[in-house]
């Protein structure tokens, strides 16, 4: 800092002053807690008595905990189905609601509407829609002579039901795609159309390649959020039936706040962190192979 | 959406004739998929008990049973829950607006060694899963007596939020530097610049942050679930989940209660939906 002139130096001081709330918060509510969590993960602690140091025991326990593997399986299956569905579904909605037709704003507004009610109310509405006896979906199926499954109450169907529910939240991805679509020059489409390219060819050769940065962004968002799925599992099924919807975060929650295994829960949380970090890094690395940034790279 | 997106819209390729008609038909069918569940929720909330499980489904409960609302909302202290939720929501909005504005200004305008590095740190915290810090935060907050108070849900908002800081920084960066320089020449301090130059020109972005903050604290579930224990401290979402957990679910009551709890976010969404959608679109664009 010594080399900075007085004015630059004052500006630097001002910068650190203005960002100090965030820096302090980062230490108090993120970095500090993470260090504590790391320490706690090497202990056995029920919060009531003093923590006892157990070394790597909690991490060793990860290896042969069948419920942990079940929760990883559930989370991975859900992610594998949800992420591609949301990416494709959101894009379809965006393409559908893309042309600036009269009244298009109303459709966009309605598509996004369920996304604002995320949380418990969202889940509760679906609990009722999927109710085996009086739920709308089974009543409609009955009208056409199909006996509906028991949805969230059936171990075979529970996870699939949660995936079905997520369709209702596609509006969020749609909005981001709509923004990305605005960046694609119309002249490209027009020139291709004059050369005889039909809508499908234009989608494949113009829209999709130019939209890859947006797809990338949605992919990251979607992945991080599915790995943190909690509310729907907690409210709709409480992990059941037969652990068929035991999501990873729900399992951490139980270990920490129901069984008071703070040490083991911390080890689980670090495992979650490692998984998300690894996936994010892999996807960031993969950008070179499939994400196209026109002109300069994003900042 | 803004007028700017007309620039990249092709009139040459706009759907016409049958294509236009099919497009509208498809738009409508899809819209129904998004709206029907809500209509079903509203219809169910007004049904007398014997119509709840009726097949074929009853769309117009007759006569509508408005008492469901009164009965549902008095089974649990929902007024208390609403007041609690409002306190947390208002606290979060104030906290986020104050802290994120100042921090975003620094990132948008001031030059300093290490800034680029810190900005990367800021962006990477966006990807940090909350469950990683929830256990240690619970431990810390229980040590300092914050459990069962609103402090864990409000105080951290006064220390910024990576997403809102990022959003505001993008907005501040679009304000011409000349305006700020002119103010500085006239002797304005950084706080003056913020107050008289930056903030008045960033109202849409600030409104977007206020709305996002409101929505996320209103809908938050995991935070209140961990930090609030007494029923008298519950938020609406906790109350709703507790209501759903009662052994004999009365679906009409549950739908009535759910509908009431989502009305504020839905109203805010409709009033400010342009800001809402632009705010999201904005962050998606400038990744």
Å between B113 CA and nearest CA of chain A:
7
CATH 3.20.20.140 is the classification of domain B72-285? no
How far, in Å, CA of A222 to CA of A87, rounded?
Answer: 8
In a mutagenesis test of the B interface, which of A8, A20, A120 is the best target, namely the one with the most B β-carbons within 10 Å? A120
Percent of chain A surpassing pLDDT 70 = 96
Where do the DSSP E strands lie in chain B?
none
For residue B129, the model assigns a pLDDT of 83
Å between A156 CA and nearest CA of chain B:
23
How far, in Å, CA of A203 to CA of A13, rounded?
Answer: 50
For residue A298, the model assigns a pLDDT of 47
Q: Residue A209: what are its φ and ψ, rounded to 5°?
A: -60, -40
For residue B281, the model assigns a pLDDT of 61
For residue B18, the model assigns a pLDDT of 87
Give A269's contacts in chain B (Cβ within 8 Å): 131-135
Per-residue burial over A244-277, b if 16 or more Cβ lie within 10 Å, else e, is: bbbbbbbbbbbbbbeeebbbbbbbbbbbbbebbe
Sequential DSSP letters for A111-143? HHHHHHTTTHHHHHHHHHHT-TTT-HHHHHHHH
For residue A21, the model assigns a pLDDT of 97
* pLDDT tens-place string over residues B93-118: 999 999 999 999 999 999 999 999 99
In a mutagenesis test of the B interface, which of A7, A8, A22, A276 is the best target, namely the one with the most B β-carbons within 10 Å? A22
* Helix axes of B203-219 and B78-109: crossing angle, nearest 10 degrees: 140
In a mutagenesis test of the B interface, which of A11, A119, A234, A265 is the best target, namely the one with the most B β-carbons within 10 Å? A119
Q: What is the mean pLDDT of residues A161-176?
A: 90
Question: Does pLDDT of B5 surpass 60?
Answer: no
Q: Which token pair is A230?
A: 């909690």
For residue B286, the model assigns a pLDDT of 44
Give A216's contacts in chain B (Cβ within 8 Å): 287
For residue A1, the model assigns a pLDDT of 46
B70: Cβ–Cβ under 8 A, 6 or more apart, which residues? none
For residue B2, the model assigns a pLDDT of 40
For residue B127, the model assigns a pLDDT of 82
How far, in Å, CA of A223 to CA of A284, rounded?
Answer: 12
Give B282's contacts in chain A (Cβ within 8 Å): 179
Q: What is the mean pLDDT of residues B79-92?
A: 96
Structure confidence at residue A299 as a pLDDT band (50, 70, 90): very low
Q: Which token pair is A152?
A: 């969230």
Q: What is the mean pLDDT of residues A210-237?
A: 90
How far, in Å, CA of B133 to CA of A228, rounded?
Answer: 12
pLDDT, mean over chain B = 87
* pLDDT tens-place string over residues B258-282: 999 999 998 988 888 777 666 666 5
Among A132-146, B50-64, B142-156, B213-227, the least confident range? B50-64
Q: Is A44 helix (H, G, I), strand (E, B) or coil?
A: strand
Q: What is the mean pLDDT of residues A241-256?
A: 94
* CATH 1.10.3720.10 location in chain B: 72-285
Give B138's contacts in chain A (Cβ within 8 Å): 256-257
How far, in Å, CA of B15 to CA of B10, rounded?
Answer: 10
Tokens 């509006």 found at: A171
Q: Which token pair is B245?
A: 């957990």
Where do the DSSP E strands lie in chain A?
43-44, 52-53
Which is nearest to A200 in space by CA: A94, A85, A95, A88? A95
Would you list the domain boundaries of chain A?
A: 59-116+169-290
How far, in Å, CA of A124 to CA of B246, rounded?
Answer: 13
Distances B233 to A177, A205, B88 between C-alpha atoms, Å: 39, 55, 11
The reply to whether residue A252 touches residue B244, judged by beta carbons under 8 angstroms, is no
Nearest to B53 among A112, A133, A218 (CB): A133
For residue A172, the model assigns a pLDDT of 87
Among A23-27, A34-38, A77-81, B7-11, the least confident range? B7-11
Question: Does pLDDT of B52 surpass 60?
Answer: yes
Give B134's contacts in chain A (Cβ within 8 Å): 252-253, 256, 269
User: Which letter does DSSP use for residue A204 in this model?
Assistant: I
* pLDDT tens-place string over residues A37-72: 999 999 999 988 889 999 999 999 999 999 999 999
Structure confidence at residue B6 as a pLDDT band (50, 70, 90): very low
The second-level CATH assignment, the architecture, of A59-116+169-290 is: Orthogonal Bundle (1.10)
> Could you tell me if A87 lies within 8 Å of chain B, comparing CB atoms?
no
Q: Is B6 helix (H, G, I), strand (E, B) or coil?
A: helix
* pLDDT tens-place string over residues B158-192: 999 999 999 899 889 888 888 888 888 888 888 88
Q: What is the mean pLDDT of residues A195-199?
A: 86
Structure confidence at residue B14 as a pLDDT band (50, 70, 90): confident
Nearest to B129 among A18, A100, A273 (CB): A273
Q: Which token pair is A130?
A: 């999927």
> Could you tell me if A182 lies within 8 Å of chain B, comparing CB atoms?
yes
Strands A43-44 and A52-53: antiparallel
In a mutagenesis test of the A interface, which of B129, B156, B222, B265 is the best target, namely the one with the most A β-carbons within 10 Å? B129
Structure confidence at residue B4 as a pLDDT band (50, 70, 90): very low
State the ipTM, two decimals: 0.87
For residue A53, the model assigns a pLDDT of 95
How far, in Å, CA of A242 to CA of B71, rounded?
Answer: 34
How far, in Å, CA of B2 to CA of A89, rounded?
Answer: 24
For residue A118, the model assigns a pLDDT of 67
Chain B residue with minimum CA distance to A3: B113
């Amino acid at each position: 800092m010594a080399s900075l002139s007085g004015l630059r130096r004052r500006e630097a001081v001002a910068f650190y002053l203005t960002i100090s709330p965030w820096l302090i918060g980062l230490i108090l509510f993120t970095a500090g807690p993470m260090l504590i969590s790391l320490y706690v993960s090497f202990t056995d602690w029920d919060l009531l008595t003093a923590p006892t140091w157990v070394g790597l025991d909690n991490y060793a326990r990860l290896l042969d905990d069948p419920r942990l593997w079940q929760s990883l399986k559930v989370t991975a299956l859900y992610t594998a189905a949800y992420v591609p569905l949301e990416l494709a579904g959101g894009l379809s909605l965006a393409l559908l609601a893309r042309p600036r037709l009269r009244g298009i704003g109303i459709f966009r507004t309605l598509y996004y509407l369920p996304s604002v009610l995320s949380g418990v109310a969202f889940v509760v509405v679906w609990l009722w829609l999927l109710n085996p006896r009086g739920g709308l979906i089974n009543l409609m199926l009955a009208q056409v002579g199909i006996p509906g499954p028991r949805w969230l109450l059936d171990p075979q169907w529970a996870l699939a039901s949660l995936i079905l529910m997520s369709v209702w939240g596609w509006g969020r991805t749609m909005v981001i795609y709509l923004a990305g679509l605005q960046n694609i020059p119309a002249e490209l489409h027009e020139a291709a159309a004059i050369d005889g390219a039909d809508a499908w060819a234009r989608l494949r050769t113009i829209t999709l390649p130019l939209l890859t940065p947006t797809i990338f962004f949605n992919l990251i968002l979607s992945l991080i959020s599915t790995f943190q799925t909690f509310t729907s599992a907690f409210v709709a099924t409480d992990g059941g039936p037969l652990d068929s919807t035991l999501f990873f975060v729900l399992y951490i929650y139980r270990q920490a706040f129901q069984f008071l295994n703070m040490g083991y829960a911390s080890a689980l949380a670090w495992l979650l962190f490692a998984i998300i970090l690894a996936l994010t890094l892999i996807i960031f690395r993969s950008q070179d192979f499939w994400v196209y940034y026109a002109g300069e790279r994003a900042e | 959406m803004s007028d700017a997106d007309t620039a990249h819209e092709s009139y040459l390729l706009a759907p016409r004739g049958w294509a236009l008609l099919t497009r509208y038909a498809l738009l409508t069918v899809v819209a129904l998929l998004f709206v029907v569940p809500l209509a079903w929720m509203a219809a169910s909330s007004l049904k007398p008990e014997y119509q709840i499980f009726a097949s074929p489904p009853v769309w117009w409960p007759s006569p509508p049973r408005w008492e469901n609302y009164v009965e549902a909302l008095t089974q649990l202290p929902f007024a208390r829950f609403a007041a609690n939720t409002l306190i947390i929501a208002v606290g979060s909005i104030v906290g986020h607006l104050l802290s994120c504005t100042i921090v975003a200004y620094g990132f948008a305008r001031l030059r300093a060694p290490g800034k680029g590095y810190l900005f990367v740190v800021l962006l990477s915290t966006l990807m940090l899963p909350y469950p990683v810090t929830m256990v240690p935060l619970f431990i810390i907050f229980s040590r300092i007596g914050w459990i069962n108070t609103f402090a864990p849900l409000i105080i951290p908002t006064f220390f910024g939020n990576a997403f809102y800081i990022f959003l505001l920084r993008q907005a501040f960066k679009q304000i011409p530097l000349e305006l700020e320089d002119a103010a500085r020449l006239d002797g304005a301090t950084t706080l003056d610049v913020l107050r008289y130059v930056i903030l008045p020109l960033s109202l849409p972005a600030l409104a977007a942050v206020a709305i996002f903050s409101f929505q996320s604290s209103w809908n938050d579930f995991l935070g209140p679930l961990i930090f609030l224990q007494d029923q008298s401290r519950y938020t609406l979402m906790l109350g709703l989940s507790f209501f759903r957990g009662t052994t004999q679910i009365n679906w009409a009551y549950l739908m009535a209660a759910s509908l009431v709890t989502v009305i504020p976010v839905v109203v805010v969404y409709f009033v400010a939906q342009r800001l809402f959608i632009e705010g999201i679109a904005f962050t998606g664009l400038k990744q």
